[in-house]
Structure 1
């Protein structure tokens, strides 16, 4: 007690005890490695654009609706303009290194001419059509619009890849890409608001649509690469290659083929880029990003984590249990597993290590918990909204159906953590290390925006109305807290929302490109026939194959894009083999989500490993083990639909309770601890009992309960449960 570090620690703990706030900064916006940091007029310009972009959506969704295709085109355009302004295409120059005028800037200056010319031509074509012209001269479309647009776009993308640009400078190549984005938008708005809209996908379609769509697709792919990495871009390029190489492929992958004009005149419509994924990102996702930004501005995220500390911090392995609750709450709103790991894991992972968890376990627990936030109703990381859009099933039904599976998932992680803490003799956090619950409970009103959101949804309000109401309530509730939102804070929240939206909108547009390929080439139907053939041999084999494809398609991709692609390829095949649409889509959704913790490409696990300092592959294997329930439960959707609230209340209650007990046995099997150490033969018997209970049949439930009771009695008789290992 006499050592100086301990004395200083006691001082800090005394300060924490005096204040209800232990955690701060959870709501701070992370700055990506390729994000520009502006000052002066550039900071004001892009700040104003971000505020205008978020405000445009709020006004369009609630007050002055815009024609659907036009709204979605403007939605994508705004994200591209902001994205190319804020995110660089390559790494920045080292600090202190000279970043004067470089050769890529000089080369890009040449490209400004065709980009500006294409933009001017698109404006001229707009006025030509507005004056009553039936179509544009093909020579103007091909040589005065298409050729300069494609040349400028391709050249600027390549020049933007040259590293060494200054972090506070907007390079010329990105100005060219911004002009190209606007030129694409104006042309598409011109054509799609005329009778020519009906010609898409036919030989009568103007070639200008094709050139605009090619340039737009390239811009979307480049923006996706900047904000989400190469994984989704690589998959999109493979699918685009299939459009033109598919006719040469043998067997079920072959198809008759599509010409350049016919494909690209359709892909930038509601059959592709402007389809379900952009429909959701332009309505529900952008609205909930604004909601999340308002919650961040009022510091609700800090409160969530503090509340989790107060509620679970003193239990054995306390910080790990805090990670489960906090990451579930934050991940539900966040929308990306890896992003949630970064925001909450930077706090919880070091604390887990402090109470005795190895770096690998600490990272794995955070990754698994953050991933689980994507399946947590009512928001489910925006996945529920895409599912509602794709299936036509009411959103409230999807949120209710997700309840038992999400409880099972988090129960699995909780008991994995608890049994590991018991086996290793870990302690919880001391009373003086956590916020005082009595003080935090006085701020419980900060949960009001989420409660209002849930209540409004189940009272029958539309998702847009409920989301807007919840956003407004976040601002109102902030007036009861130290972080009051005035006009300045609301503008800051809108600025944050506009910036936060870029990644998910680019990802959804890119996923729409893939969905367009699937729809226009019919490759999804061919996968359906393959699953149908496998189901003739074994339905379990067909489900296993669907699982593998869903995980493979989801690797390295954010949840929304992973589900959108898997839903287009895999879900129709499952429906064709006799599975209900809700069950089929939940099956696909779960595996698209857990691809974030599935080796070898596990984004959430890799993000956690970066914080914990452990090996990324080792962390991904450990997180796979902790999230094991998520790989078993989806199969039970098929064998026991009551798990998705389909059936009588008695059936649902029985399945929920027995499956939860099965999850406890599964966790005990993995951790080799069930009220005490478990021998190898007992773990095998326990695994069988767990699977019986999770399966959901009456006879299997009885058998599982007998096994669980026998193992419990055996351990109690031996007295193994009373003595955990020596404290670490």
Structure 2
């Protein structure tokens, strides 16, 4: 359980019985700056709620399913309750509450009255519906439920911004918001389980749905601000503004318009908040968060990082290569680039600086590697599950298609890191600085949960069943390791997964609001028309335009939300261009992912800069350079379907080999390093042309690329300085 003594400590060297390992603590639970750390009965209460929340999902997904909309409403409501219990809306006070801020407690005490009153009214409505009522009185829905709920929600959010308390104490304004969250869910559960559910989006829809949707949307956005920052909230507000400003806008942005009641009676349905993003977060994402928590409880993350050190630490620039492997493995499960930077980067970044990397480069390597984890099959940071939900393409097909693009991305980062190490003459780590590979190889059974997950999926098990089997195997495997999971450890894993799930669930719900705006206003279809118009001039220009929009929409947003929004706006237009749906969605997905390392808003790079002590913007530019291949790979599989496994075995093998050579040549051109010496400008240009031709994928372009590469190598060999080569 979380205690007030826990802090967000960086992983560090082990001592005692674990002194053969280099690092421990990678699996420790991070504590966010605005996270409350309770004591005594409050700690027990929140812990039990988090455990119950995770257990509810496991029970519902595997044993006794709920009606779909009801399940999603409870799913979102539970995350809001847990979020408002744990995450503060304002900075914590040091010691006693400032006298000037005590008014917030009094104000919140007053706001409890309308909040509780609105909740009580949902009980009255339930009794009326159970009694056979087909409609609810308008006065009851508006004056006795709607307006008290809106007043308590709106004012409660504003009061919470000024309410400062000690980190171990609960906030009365947040209690108001907890009650409002329950009231919203209670009303929707009452109404959506009657024929009144069919009236959403019409003039016959109960007014209470609109009131509940406005309050629910506000609660989701406020919790998103607390756990994910303002970027996604700002984008959501812009889209909401478009709903009502759209009729007055010129050109393709104009649309007939929606009334407040008609829009909000639909936004909290499967057209919006309860739509595909929440469908995925309530099934696949929550399940794999629980799976990740079980892996953390069994210390598999420590094993992954130590195994990466033992395997790659001796090579030049070893810690940077360790970062690539470790962050790829952890980021695949983690589900967020910035979160993975914080967990593994707190170890790898200082070690990279120790062997000679500039602090800016050290942070950039970690950011690029952690971002790559989001495109690493089989889990792909939950992005594959959202793609499967949106497109209807089987998950296994998506995971298989992702293999070669992921190889190309990580190969590119590896080449960039290796060439950087060669340029600066960096050493690897000594054997006495590293854990024993032989010893770690004997614990390879710790990879079993992930292998069981992969095998189960390809044997035809559902994603939920495969994830549950993998979770159970994590417990069994732990019994063979020093970190055996007993009943207390399982409860700890359930508690941890409940806390970890808050961010991704509210982010998906907030993204659902944006998706709802796009679908209800038709702006996605109008964007598709614009894209078709650009394609008439040049298909490549249309793809570049789509790339820019995908990156722009993804900036400052977690991967799942970034992809969900970009897929709603950009992917339909690409499909209308005649592009295969899988290719179109992969194209959008990759650019949504790399927005985490794209200046000027690069969340993963900023997180890495905070650890390395480098300039944030400089780190984002450097991580963009290191991850440059990720901006080329989507164009590669657009022009060459073999890279998405859409071809024969020989064609796939040739495409992979030539693309790898192209990525290597591109890395040499970017780093300006070839044959152990600095490359001249002419050589770099030849390498760049060769890389582009090799990447293109055709036989003629491959042969042309080989010719340019040979010319570059011969010229470099002729111009290379023997003295420089000797020094290297």
Structure 2-normalised TM-score? 0.96
> Is the contact made by 2:413 and 2:627 (CA closer than 8 Å) also made in structure 1?
yes
Task: Say how many residue pairs are matched.
Answer: 716
* Cα distance, 1:16 vs structure 2: 9.3
Instruction: Give how far 1:93 is off.
Output: 1.0
Partner in structure 2 of residue 688 of structure 1: 689
User: Would the aligned equivalents of 2:556 and 2:603 in 1 still touch at CA under 8 Å?
Assistant: yes
Q: Check 1:523–1:29 CA distance in 2 against 1; reply closer, same or farther (3 A cut).
A: same
Whether the 8 Å CA contact 1:93–1:163 is kept in 2: the answer is: no
- The residue aligned with 2:598 is 598
1:356 aligned residue: 356
Match of 1:306 in 2: 306
- Could you say which residue in structure 2 is the equivalent of 1:211? 211
Q: Distance in 2 between matches of 1:721 and 1:485?
A: 59
Q: Match of 1:458?
A: 458
- Equivalent residues of 1:93, 1:99 under 8 A apart: no
How far does residue 581 in structure 1 lie from its aligned partner after superposition? 0.4
Partner of 2:511: 511
- Whole-angstrom CA distance in 2 between matches of 1:13 and 1:314: 18
Q: How do 1:361-510 residues align onto structure 2 when only pairs under 5 Å count?
A: 361-510=361-510
1:56 is aligned to 56
Contact 1:527 1:570 in 2 (8 A): yes
Q: Specify the SS of the correspondent of 1:272.
A: coil
Deviations 1:686-709 (A, max 9, x none): 000000011111111111122223
Match of 2:8 in 1: none
Contact kept? 1:266, 1:272, Cα under 8 Å = yes
CA contact (8 A) 1:122 1:145 kept: yes
Moved more, 102-111 or 668-677: 668-677
Structure 1 counterpart of 2:9 = none
Task: Write out aligned runs for 1:122-137 (5 A).
Answer: 122-137=122-137
How far apart are residue 389 of structure 1 and its match? 0.2
- Does the aligned pair in 1 maintain the 2:289–2:500 contact within 8 Å? yes
Correspondence 1:39-438 to 2 at 5 A = 39-95=39-95, 102-438=102-438
Q: Decide which moves more: 539-548 or 670-679.
A: 670-679
Name the CA shift for 1:14/1:250 in 2 (closer, same or farther; >3 Å).
closer
Contact 1:16/1:435 (<8 A) preserved: no
Check conservation: 1:16, 1:22, Cα contact below 8 A: no
Cα deviation 1:481-523 (Å, max 9, x = unaligned): 1111000000000000000000000000000000000000000
Inter-CA distance 295–99: structure 2 relative to 1 (3 Å threshold): farther
1:620-649 Cα distance to aligned partner (Å, 9 max, x none): 000000000001111122211111111111
Deviation at 1:440, TM superposition (A): 0.6
SS for the counterpart of 2:224 is: helix
Partner of 2:551: 551
Q: Deviations over 1:175-232 (max 9, x none)?
A: 0000000000011001110000110000110001000111100000001000000000
Question: Structure 1 659/493 Cα, relative in aligned 2: closer, same or farther at 3 Å?
Answer: same
Contact 2:13 2:21 (8 Å CA) reproduced: no
- Partners of 2:477 and 2:210 lie apart in 1 by 49
State the distance in 2 between where 1:206 and 1:163 align: 35
- Separation in 2, partners of 1:602, 1:300: 29
5+ residue gaps, structure 2: 1-11
Judge conservation of contact 1:99–1:164 (CA < 8 Å) in 2.
no
The secondary structure found in structure 1 opposite 2:481 is coil
More displaced 10-residue stretch of structure 1: 393-402 or 86-95:
86-95
Q: Encode CA deviations 1:564-606: one digit per residue, 9 max, x unaligned.
A: 0000000000111111100100000000000000000000000
Mapped contact 1:662–1:691 kept (Cα < 8 A): yes
SS state at 1:189 partner: helix
Q: 1:502 to 1:15 in 2, by over 3 A?
A: closer
Q: Give 1:171 shift.
A: 1.1
Q: Residues of 2 paired with 1:612 and 1:723: CA distance?
A: 31
> Gapped runs of 5+ residues in structure 1?
1-11
CA distance in 2, matches of 1:92, 1:429: 42
Q: Distance in 2 between matches of 1:636 and 1:422?
A: 28
Distance, in Å, in 1 between the alignment partners of 2:497 and 2:318 is 33
In structure 2, C-alpha distance between the alignment counterparts of 1:17 and 1:678, rounded to whole Å: 49
Q: Given the alignment of the two structures, is residue 657 of structure 1 paired with residue 657 of structure 2, yes or no?
A: yes
Distance 1:16 1:699 in 2: 61
The alignment partner of 1:126 has SS state of helix
CA–CA separation in structure 2 for the residues paired with 1:707 and 1:644: 27
Q: Distance in 2 between matches of 1:707 and 1:247?
A: 55
Whether the 8 Å contact between 2:419 and 2:671 is mirrored in structure 1 is yes
Structure-2 separation of matches of 1:246 and 1:343? 43
1:539 is aligned to: 539
Match of 2:699 in 1: 698
The 8 Å contact of residues 675 and 720 in structure 1, kept in 2 or not, is answered as: no
1:29 partner SS: coil
CA offset at residue 712 of structure 1? Answer: 3.2
Kindly state the Cα deviation for residue 164 of structure 1 after the two structures are TM-superposed: 2.6
C-alpha RMSD over aligned residues: 1.7
Q: Deviations over 1:518-572 (max 9, x none)?
A: 0000000010000000000000111011001000000000000000000000000
CA–CA distance in 2 between the matches of 1:170 and 1:657? 58
Q: What is aligned with 1:711?
A: 712
Distance 1:495-1:426 versus aligned 2 partners, 3 A rule: same
CA spacing shift, 1:17–1:352, aligned 2, 3 Å: farther
Q: Aligned to 1:73, what secondary structure does the other structure show?
A: helix
Is the contact made by 1:610 and 1:616 (CA closer than 8 Å) also made in structure 2? yes
Give the Cα–Cα distance (whole angstroms) in 2 for the partners of residues 334 and 596 of structure 1. 14
Aligned partner of 1:5 in structure 2 is none
Between 346-355 and 638-647, report the one with greater CA deviation.
638-647
Q: Secondary structure at the match of 1:515?
A: helix
Confirm or deny: 8 A CA contact 2:333 2:381 kept in the other structure: yes
**Partners of 2:632 and 2:78 in 1: how far apart?**
41
Q: Say if 2:257 and 2:521, in contact at 8 Å, map to a contact too.
A: yes
